[in-house]
Amino acid sequence: MLRVGNLQRSLTFYTEILGMTLLRQKEYPEGKFTLAFLGYGDEKNHTALELTYNWKTSNYDLGTGFGHLAIEVDDVYKAAEKIRAAGGKIIREPGPMNAGSTLLAFVADPDGYEIELLEPKA
């Protein structure tokens, strides 16, 4: 689960830029928050990302415990270029990892959460 400061901005990023599908969304008026679940397939067979939007909070301190989300892509270079062309922010250009040969890149979502793109292992 990620807490987001602007739900529509985050939904646009995860659906239009990263290509996820909004699986379900529900408002909780008594608690003054909205939950949205996104993914690359149905929740029965795929992982879902939960976004929590607290109605009166527009930003969060990302903290030091969170590292990043990771998403496997067929081609890191093409995925990064597609994200850049759609207005996404590339924070580490595609290439081999620091201490190995895995190809990866990093992007940031609108709230600053880092997402690692990695190619499948051979």
CB burial of 33-42 (b: ≥16 within 10 Å; e: otherwise) equals bbbbbbbbee
Distances (CA, A) of 122 to 74, 102, 118, 119: 11, 10, 12, 9
Instruction: Record the tokens describing residue 68, joined without a space.
Output: 């990043």
Give the whole-angstrom CA distance, residue 107 versus residue 69.
10
Of 27, 93, 116, 119, the catalytic one is 116
- Other CB atoms within a 10 A radius of the CB of residue 56 amount to 6
User: Is 93 assigned a catalytic role?
Assistant: no
Catalytic sites, residue numbers: 116
